[in-house]
């Protein structure tokens, strides 16, 4: 019986070994299938990432092109604005130029200097009104303390009626456009 036991044992061992080999092969197949599944899943994710990257790249190119177009349009609009910024003022000054032309023509024909002076006065007031409408204001100087931001002192004079540093005479009128001094008043200042 010992040989039969040995044979039975060998058969059992062979069966176990075959079963173990089968199990090992099945496990290897499962691992290989999992690896293939993982690899195909990673390849799918990689392809999705490539597609997303390409979409983002194309979007970036479109945004850059849109920005370049915007920048060109803005530059062109700015140049046009600077080129034609004074159109409104010029349109308002044209009737005044016409009045000067009529006054000069009329004075040559009639030699009436009183009418010429009256016409020039009316034309001056019209022009001053246009400039005031645009925000131009004269700088008040005479009797004011000297301020280098608004006044340009060209002379100093002794004065009994004014304290030191007071503007006593205005030689040329100064102007402010909105909030900016465009020409300081040329003045004489007391010492």
Secondary structure of residue 120 in the 3-state scheme:
helix
Cβ burial of 79 (10 Å; 0-12, 13-18, 19+) is: exposed
Cα–Cα dist 76/82, whole Å: 10
Contacting residues for 170 by C-beta, under 8 A, at least 6 apart: 141, 142, 185, 186, 187
CB 173 within 8 A of CB 140: no
Q: What are phi and psi of 112, to 5 degrees?
A: -95, 95
For the chain, 191 residues long, give each residue's pLDDT as a single digit of tens. 555 556 666 665 666 666 667 776 767 766 666 667 677 788 888 999 999 999 999 999 999 999 999 999 999 999 988 888 888 888 888 998 898 888 888 878 888 888 888 888 888 999 999 999 989 999 999 999 999 999 999 999 998 888 899 999 999 999 999 989 999 999 999 98
Q: How many whole angstroms separate alpha carbon 163 and alpha carbon 179?
A: 29
- By DSSP bridging, strand 175-177 and strand 136-138 are antiparallel
Whether the model clears a pTM of 0.85, i.e. scores above it, the answer is: no
Buried b (16+ CB within 10 A) or exposed e, 32-43: eeeeeeeeeeee
User: In this structure, what token pair is assigned to residue 152?
Assistant: 């340009």
């Amino acid at each position: 019986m010992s040989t039969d036991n040995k044979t039975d044992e060998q058969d059992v061992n062979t069966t176990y070994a075959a079963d173990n080999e089968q199990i090992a092969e099945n496990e290897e197949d499962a691992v290989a299938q999992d690896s293939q599944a993982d690899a195909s899943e990673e390849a799918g994710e990689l392809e999705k990432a490539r597609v997303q990257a390409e979409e983002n790249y194309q979007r970036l190119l479109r945004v850059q092109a849109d920005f370049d177009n915007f920048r060109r349009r803005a530059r062109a609009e700015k140049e046009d604005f600077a080129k034609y910024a004074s159109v409104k003022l010029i349109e308002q000054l044209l009737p005044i130029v016409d009045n000067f032309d009529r006054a000069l023509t009329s004075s040559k024909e009639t030699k009436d200097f009183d009418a010429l002076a009256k016409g020039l006065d009316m034309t001056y007031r019209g022009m001053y009104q246009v400039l005031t409408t645009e925000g131009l204001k004269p700088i008040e100087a005479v009797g004011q303390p000297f301020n280098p931001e608004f006044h340009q002192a060209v002379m100093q004079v002794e004065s009994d009626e004014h304290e030191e540093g007071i503007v006593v005479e205005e030689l040329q009128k100064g102007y402010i456009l909105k909030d900016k001094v465009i020409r300081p008043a040329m003045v004489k200042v007391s010492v």
